[in-house]
């Protein structure tokens, strides 16, 4: 039997591609990624998450870590609201 | 776009005597509550824009003084000029120190703001402190991608002065041209529904029928300068890029194959597709396994 080895951790993220898609400066994009913005997975909405973090940082005068935390909490709120609405529909 | 006098102090909920610190704290609180990424209420976005506009003015001592002086009589000094597509610069304003800055686009701000301040960097008469005589002024010239590709002479108007400027063919977004001794033009390329710009290259979708993609075809494609015939090689999947050399903005035009399927099939078409499905051994997911 052949076992397929899967590397641990998130797949490598091409910062330049992510920066271009999100319209965010590559240096800032790299910083968000390093702070764990995409630790939940490099999904198709990764560029949108980077753009959101950049907007929050800019508009609310957050530092990078604060913007990443805000994104994480907003994603969790979205998730909980979705679950709650499913629960209420039952 | 909102019309009429805006009380920026009321928008931020601060007295007219508020310090810079009080204004900043009020803005941050309202921005946190109404930021479109945080608050899903559709009205919040409008409130956020109003709050941002108020802060953009009140955070800057010069603008604040001008607003305090002329705000209620904002129509009195209006002399907005300029031909279509020509407007003051908008963009980012850094404040240094705490890394905080406000990004705005003139299009998002009210007519009141435009009337009082014009676009960022626009040289205007009528208000003290905005007279740029003897200084170099920068303005934004918006062009469509077709205009940028073509280049050519263009007549512009600024503060009642008409002048001509030569746009080099293939000019890029952000490029700065000198229009006069005292005037620089920063090129801004408008978004195009059909073309996407990446550096000097331009990308467009090339819609093809499944049989054209499979068998190959010669199809017509729109370019920035007209149309061109393009050979789609047999066996082209979606995403394949076909290059038209020199048809970009100093670079090339890439037509990306996008296979389109008819929404409704005729009886005959359905039969043929069913026949193909039975006959073909092709598995598009095979490579990923």
For the stretch A35-84, pLDDT in tens is 889 877 677 788 899 999 999 998 888 899 999 999 999 988 988 988 99
pLDDT category at B130 given cuts 50, 70, 90 is very low
pLDDT confidence of residue B98: 34
Residue B228: is its pLDDT beyond 70?
A: yes
Over 80: is that where the pLDDT of B204 sits?
A: yes
Please state which of the ranges A22-31, A44-53, B101-110, B211-220 shows the lowest mean pLDDT.
B101-110
What is the structure's pLDDT at B238? 95
Q: Which residues pair with B254 in a beta bridge?
A: B203, B243
Contact indicator for A39, A71 with CB cutoff of 8 Å: no
- pLDDT, average across residues B74-89: 35
3-state class (DSSP) for residue B251: coil
CA A58, CA B101: separation in Å to the nearest integer?
Answer: 6
Is residue B206 within 8 A of residue B195, CB to CB? The reply is no
DSSP for B194-220 reads SEEEETTEEEEEEEE-HHHHHH-EEEE
* A26-30, A59-63, B83-87, B268-272: the lowest-pLDDT one: B83-87
Cα–Cα distances in Å, from B183 out to B89, B114, B128, B134, B198? Answer: 12, 21, 20, 11, 28
Query: Given A52, A61, A63, which is nearest B37 (Cβ)?
Result: A52
Q: Is the pLDDT of residue B222 over 90?
A: yes
Contacts of A2 in chain B (CB under 8 A): none
The pTM score is 0.42
Distance CA B106, CA B114 (A): 7
At residue A13, the pLDDT reads 63
Q: Do A63 and B28 touch (CB under 8 A)?
A: no
Q: Which residues of A touch B41 (CB under 8 A)?
A: none
Give the span between the Cα atoms of A80 and B214, in whole angstroms: 46
- At residue B249 the predicted structure's pLDDT band, cuts being 50, 70 and 90, is confident
Max mean pLDDT among B119-128, B190-199, B227-236 falls in B227-236
B201-208 sheet: strands from edge to edge: B195-198, B201-208, B253-259, B241-244
- Please give the pLDDT value at position B88: 34
The answer to whether A76 touches A62, Cβ cutoff 8 Å, is no
C-alpha B184/C-alpha B181 separation (Å) is 8
Residue B68 has pLDDT above 50, yes or no: yes
3-42 in chain A: CB under 8 A from chain B: 20
Long-range contacts of B12-15 (CB under 8 A, 24+ apart): B12/B51, B12/B54, B12/B55, B12/B58, B14/B58
Please list, in sequence order, all residues whose beta carbon lies within 8 angstroms of the beta carbon of residue B36, skipping any fewer than 6 positions away: B44, B45, B48
Contact flag A74-B31 (C-beta cutoff 8 Å): no
Model ipTM over 0.90 = no
Is it the case that residue B256 has pLDDT exceeding 80? yes
Would you state the pLDDT for residue B64?
86
B23, B30, B38, best to mutate vs chain A, most A CBs in 10 Å = B38
- From B30's Cα to the closest Cα of chain A, the distance in A is 9
d(CA B286, CA B119) in angstroms, rounded, equals 56
Q: Which of B51-60, B155-164, B204-213, B262-271 has the lowest mean pLDDT?
A: B155-164
- Chain B residues lying within 8 Å of A61, measured CB to CB: 28, 98-100
Is residue B205 within 8 Å of B254, Cβ to Cβ?
no
């Amino acid at each position: 039997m052949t076992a397929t080895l899967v590397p641990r951790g998130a797949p490598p993220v091409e910062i330049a591609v992510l920066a271009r898609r999100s319209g965010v400066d590559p240096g800032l994009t790299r910083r968000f990624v390093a702070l764990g913005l995409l630790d939940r997975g490099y999904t198709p909405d990764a560029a949108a998450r980077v753009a959101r973090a950049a907007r929050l940082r800019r508009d609310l005068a957050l530092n990078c870590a604060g913007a990443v935390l805000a994104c994480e909490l907003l994603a969790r709120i979205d998730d909980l609201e979705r679950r709650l609405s499913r629960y209420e529909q039952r | 776009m909102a019309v009429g006098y805006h009380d920026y102090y009321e928008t931020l909920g601060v007295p007219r005597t508020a310090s810079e610190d009080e204004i900043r704290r009020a803005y941050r609180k309202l921005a946190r509550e109404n930021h479109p990424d945080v608050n899903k209420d559709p009205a919040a976005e409008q409130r956020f824009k109003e709050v941002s506009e108020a802060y953009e003015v009140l955070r800057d001592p010069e603008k604040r003084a001008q607003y305090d002086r002329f705000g209620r009589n904002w129509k009195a000094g209006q002399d907005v000029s300029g031909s279509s597509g020509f407007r003051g610069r908008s963009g980012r304003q850094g404040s240094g120190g705490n890394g905080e800055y406000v990004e705005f686009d003139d299009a998002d701000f009210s007519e009141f703001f435009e009337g009082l301040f014009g676009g960022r960097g626009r040289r205007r008469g009528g208000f003290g402190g905005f007279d740029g005589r003897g200084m170099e002024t920068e303005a934004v010239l918006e062009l469509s991608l077709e205009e940028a590709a073509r280049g050519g002479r263009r007549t512009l108007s600024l503060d009642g002065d008409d002048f001509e400027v030569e746009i080099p063919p293939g000019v890029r977004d952000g490029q700065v041209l000198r229009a006069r001794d005292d005037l620089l033009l920063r090129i801004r390329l408008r978004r195009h529904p059909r073309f996407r710009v990446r550096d000097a290259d331009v990308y467009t979708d090339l819609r093809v029928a499944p049989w054209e993609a499979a068998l190959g075809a010669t199809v017509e494609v729109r370019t920035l300068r007209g149309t061109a015939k393009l050979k789609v090689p047999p066996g082209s999947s979606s995403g394949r890029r076909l290059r038209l050399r020199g048809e970009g903005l100093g670079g090339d035009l890439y037509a990306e194959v996008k296979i389109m399927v008819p929404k409704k099939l005729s009886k005959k078409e359905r039969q043929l597709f069913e026949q193909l499905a039975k006959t073909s051994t092709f598995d598009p997911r095979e490579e990923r396994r």
